[in-house]
């Protein structure tokens, strides 16, 4: 990746996070039941309330896009995580940024969840999963 492409990617990631700041509520890890030092100081945590529950996500600018540190949806099984992941992916596509994450404990259910949203292992044996941006969809994603 050239310096120019890297700079453009960084700006796209900044724009992506700025958009999240405008539609999600910023939260602190301690406020959502995680130890206050759980989230790296470079990450920002966001939350949203939905009719069927709530979701939290912490992310940061990474080397080539956005890195998700953690994501939590409550209650489980209510498709809240799916709705929020669809929204994050749509916004990432719109801003042309990739998303990288490492499923907690490499839980096969979590890996399948992320694979359904277009995440793949960048190389054989890698712990992390990556989703590259797709052509912009007609939908703007979730309105929160």
pLDDT at 112: 93
Lowest mean pLDDT segment, chosen from 2-16, 59-73, 102-116: 2-16
**Contacts by 102-107, CB closer than 8 A, 24 or more apart:** 102/127, 102/128, 102/129, 103/129, 104/70
Confidence class for position 1, pLDDT limits 50, 70, 90: very low
Q: What's the mean per-residue pLDDT of the chain?
A: 80
What residue ranges define each of the domains in the chain, with the CATH number in brackets? 3-131 (3.40.630.30)
Angle of CA points 66, 50, 103, to nearest 5°: 35
Token code pair at residue 12: 């796209």
pTM of the entire predicted model: 0.78
pLDDT at 54 over 70: yes
- Is residue 46 within 8 Å of residue 26, measured between CB atoms? yes
């Amino acid at each position: 990746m050239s310096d120019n492409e890297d700079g453009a990617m960084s700006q796209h990631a900044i724009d992506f996070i700025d958009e999240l700041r405008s539609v999600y509520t910023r939260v602190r890890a301690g406020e959502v039941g995680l130890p206050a030092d759980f989230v790296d100081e470079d990450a920002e945590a966001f939350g949203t309330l939905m009719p069927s529950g709530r979701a939290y996500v912490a992310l940061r600018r990474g080397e080539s896009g956005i890195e998700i540190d953690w994501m939590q949806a409550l209650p489980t099984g209510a498709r809240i995580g799916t709705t929020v992941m669809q929204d994050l992916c749509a916004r990432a596509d719109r801003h042309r940024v990739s998303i990288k994450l490492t499923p907690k404990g490499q839980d096969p259910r979590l890996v399948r969840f992320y694979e359904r949203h277009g995440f793949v292992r960048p190389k054989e044996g890698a712990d992390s999963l990556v989703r590259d941006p797709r052509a912009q969809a007609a939908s703007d994603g979730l309105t929160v």
